[in-house]
Structure 1
Amino acid sequence: MKPYTLLDTATDHGGTLRLYQRGDEFAIRVDKAGELMNSRLHHSEDLLADLACAHISGKADSRMLIGGLGLGFTLAAALRHAGPASSIVVAELMPAVVRWNREYLGILADYPLRDARVEVAIQDVGKLMRGQHNSFDAIMLDVDNGPDGFTRDDNSALYSERGLKDAYNALKPGGVLTVWSASPDAAFTRRMKKTGFKTDEKRVRAHAAQRGNRHTIWIGVR
């Protein structure tokens, strides 16, 4: 099999990210923890947006927040559902991830950052939510590996009771929160319900052909 080629390395917020390419496949790896994301396996990232947007499908001017840009697939899926008057804020903590999407990765999801409805905030999504109140129709979180993250200890605060309360308050009444995770987490489900979300949990495949690892997506309605 053809080996990966290292395209770029970036150190931000105490972590080292590496961008690799092999043919038309791209991967981002972090420190020694291994592969964080791969362009071959993004079905669950698409569903993160599909499930949120299904809940607000009647709104022509929806306002959405995506926490974590990744390879751009969740953003692209949200744009497919969004009306011309909608707007999407993407909060991405790592400047290199935004730059890589502009320089290398845009072709994967049809250059979603070029869409005029998109605003990029190079900022911690948790801090961004704390500054909002009744602001978003939908919030989609794909940060780290989910509630059991491994790239940054600070990410755990996002999935704590306080972090969930910030998300709840940032949503408009009737708004929806979707959360991606590499694995189930019963304690996180309990925290969502305790926060006040009407909560559902889905197990989905990483690949659209219904193969690959199973991931978890929580859907919480305020």
Structure 2
Amino acid sequence: MLPWTKLATAPIPGGDELRLMRRGDEFSIRLGANELMNSRLGGSEEALATLACKKLDGRSRPRVLIGGLGMGFTLRAALAVFGADAAIEVAELVPEVIDWGRGEMAGLFGDSLSDPRVSLVARDVGELIRDGAGRYDAILLDVDNGPEGLSRKANDRLYDVAGLAATRASLRDGGVLALWSSGPDDDFTRRLRRSGFAVNEVPVRAVGKRGGSRHWIWLAVRS
């Protein structure tokens, strides 16, 4: 088996260091001992976009915020399902991750980063949420391995009561928050409901219909 090769590193503001690894045509982004994403395992990240789109039920000119660029699975799925009239903002905290999408992983991203519907911002997604009252139809979050700050402790503010209140305020009526997780979290589900969301938890597979590890997506609609 081919060994993994480290291609690049990038510091996380207020956190640890990301490592971009490659083995043959396979890519991996890692944080410490954790693999945050792998280029062969994007089915559940794609579902983040497709399930949120279904919740919006054909809403015209949707404005979508994606938190976390990663390997672009969610972005590419959003471009496929939200239609030609969508406006999609992608907030990526680590500028080097954007560079990797245009450089080392350009073959994986294709032309998604140059799509005219896409606005790419090197910024904390929490800041966009707090500044975006009534702006978004959908907010798709995949910045940690679940509703707690793994990549950096400051991300806890996305998932606490105040953070969920800000998210709800940034959504239009009937808008949806979709959040990816490596596992369930009953406390977070209850927190969503107390914050004024109608909530569904959907188990999904890491490689879609081909199976793989089970992940979770919360679909929380502003009711």
What TM-score do you get using the length of structure 2 for normalisation?
Answer: 0.95
Greater mean deviation of Cα atoms: 166-175 or 209-218: 209-218
Aligned counterpart, 2:71? 71
In structure 2, distance between residues paired with 1:62 and 1:107: 28
In structure 2, distance between residues paired with 1:172 and 1:138: 8
Q: Deviations over 1:144-165 (max 9, x none)?
A: 1111342211111111111111
Please tell me the residue identity of whatever aligns with 1:111: D
Q: Secondary structure at the match of 1:126?
A: helix
Aligned length: 221
Please tell me the residue identity of whatever aligns with 2:218: W
Aligned counterpart, 1:29? 30
| Percent of aligned pairs sharing the same letter | 50
Do the aligned residues in 2 keep the contact of 1:57 with 1:81 (CA within 8 Å)? no
Unaligned runs of 5+ in 2: none
Do the aligned residues in 2 keep the contact of 1:189 with 1:199 (CA within 8 Å)? yes
In structure 1, distance between residues paired with 2:94 and 2:171: 24
Question: Residues 44-55 of structure 1 correspond to what in structure 2 (within 5 A)?
Answer: 44-55=44-55
In structure 2, distance between residues paired with 1:192 and 1:133: 18
Aligned counterpart, 2:117? 117
User: Per the alignment, do residues 57 and 114 of structure 1 end up closer, same or farther by CA in structure 2, a change over 3 Å counting?
Assistant: farther
Aligned counterpart, 1:12? 12
Do the aligned residues in 1 keep the contact of 2:148 with 2:155 (CA within 8 Å)? no
Aligned counterpart, 1:221? 221
Question: Residues 63-212 of structure 1 correspond to what in structure 2 (within 5 A)?
Answer: 63-212=63-212
In structure 2, distance between residues paired with 1:168 and 1:146: 18
What TM-score do you get using the length of structure 1 for normalisation?
Answer: 0.95
Task: Return the offset for 1:49.
Answer: 0.3
Task: Return the offset for 1:109.
Answer: 3.9
Q: Secondary structure at the match of 2:208?
A: coil
Task: Return the offset for 1:212.
Answer: 2.1
In structure 2, distance between residues paired with 1:36 and 1:120: 21
Unaligned runs of 5+ in 1: none
